[in-house]
Structure 1
Amino acid sequence: MQARVKWVEDTIFMAESGSGHLVIMDGPPEAGGKNLAARPMEMLLMGLGGCSSFDVVSILRKSRQDVRGCELEIKAKRTDTEPKVFTEIDLHFVVTGSQLKETAVKRAVELSAEKYCSASIMLGRAGVVISHSFSIVEQG
């Protein structure tokens, strides 16, 4: 896996993934950023969310659950001093579907957290306290 990041101007950077996709990033206002794009630490959270959500939906589909939607609400805390690393991250999955089994959703979230989501596992090994929860919304 590889990526490239190129400075565009001021605090704006363009990242290109190894698969050829582009993402623009901007620094925070306190560092001169203009709020034109997501900050790098926000990108890290969104990557974590994408990794975890992909796992949960994939596991639910494989277990033949009628999953119709999945939204992940992420809340994170960082240290006040440099480097402002994450200390806690809370992931709350809101899974929508028809007659979803609570045990299946719980298992999908646990498998993502403990076995499949490399982003979550990596951050946890680095000392970030990560909590996972879920709620189910019935859609008949």
Structure 2
Amino acid sequence: MKAQVKWVDGVMFVGETESGHAIVMDGAPASGGRNMGARPMEMLLLGMGGCTSFDVINILRKGRERVTDCHVEIEAERAESDPKVFTRIHAEFVVTGRNLSLAKVERAVSLSADKYCSASIMLGAMAEITHSVRIVEDDT
């Protein structure tokens, strides 16, 4: 896997992936940025959220759960001094579907966190990561 990050201006950068996708990263005005893109540390949280959501959906589909929507709400705390690493991360999975099994959803989240999600496992080496699950019944 390869990626490239190119400096644009001030503290704005464009990241390009090997698969041909680009994303803008920028800093807050207080840091010399223009707030034109996500912060690099936000990108780490998004990466973790995408990685673990990918796993959870795949596990639930294989288990024949009738999932109609899924999102993960991530909240993180950082150290106060440099390097301002993540110290705590909480991910709440909100899974919508028909007659979903809470046990199966919790198992999917645990499997992702403990076995499959590379991003969660890497960040978990530095930060305490916790998870919760909320199921929403799809009445449509």
Report the TM-score range of the alignment, normalised by the length of the smaller protein. over 0.9
Spell out the pairing of 1:25-64 with structure 2 (5 A cutoff).
25-64=25-64
Distance in 2, Cα, partners of 1:81 & 1:62: 43
Q: What do residues 97-136 of structure 1 show as CA deviations (whole Å, max 9, x unaligned)?
A: 00001111011000000000000001112x2100011010
- 1:129 match: 128
Residue type at the aligned position of 2:66 = D
- 2:90 match: 90
Distance in 2, Cα, partners of 1:4 & 1:36: 19
Identity %: 58
The TM-score with structure 1 as length reference comes to 0.97
Report the 3-state secondary structure (helix = DSSP H, G, I; strand = E; otherwise coil) of the residue aligned with 1:82.
coil
Distance in 1, Cα, partners of 2:86 & 2:36: 23
Distance in 2, Cα, partners of 1:139 & 1:68: 7
Residue type at the aligned position of 1:38 = A
Report the 3-state secondary structure (helix = DSSP H, G, I; strand = E; otherwise coil) of the residue aligned with 2:124.
helix
Give how far 1:15 is off: 0.5
Residue type at the aligned position of 1:50 = G
Distance in 2, Cα, partners of 1:49 & 1:68: 18
The TM-score with structure 2 as length reference comes to 0.97
Give how far 1:28 is off: 2.7
Distance in 1, Cα, partners of 2:30 & 2:77: 18
- 1:20 match: 20
Q: What do residues 10-69 of structure 1 show as CA deviations (whole Å, max 9, x unaligned)?
A: 111000001110011002332111111100000010000000111111110010000000
1:73 counterpart = 2:76:
no
Distance in 1, Cα, partners of 2:102 & 2:83: 39
Gaps of 5+ in 2: none
Structure 1 outlier segments of 4+, above 3 Å: none
Distance in 2, Cα, partners of 1:92 & 1:33: 30
CA RMSD of aligned residues (A): 0.8
User: What is the number of equivalent residue pairs in this alignment?
Assistant: 139
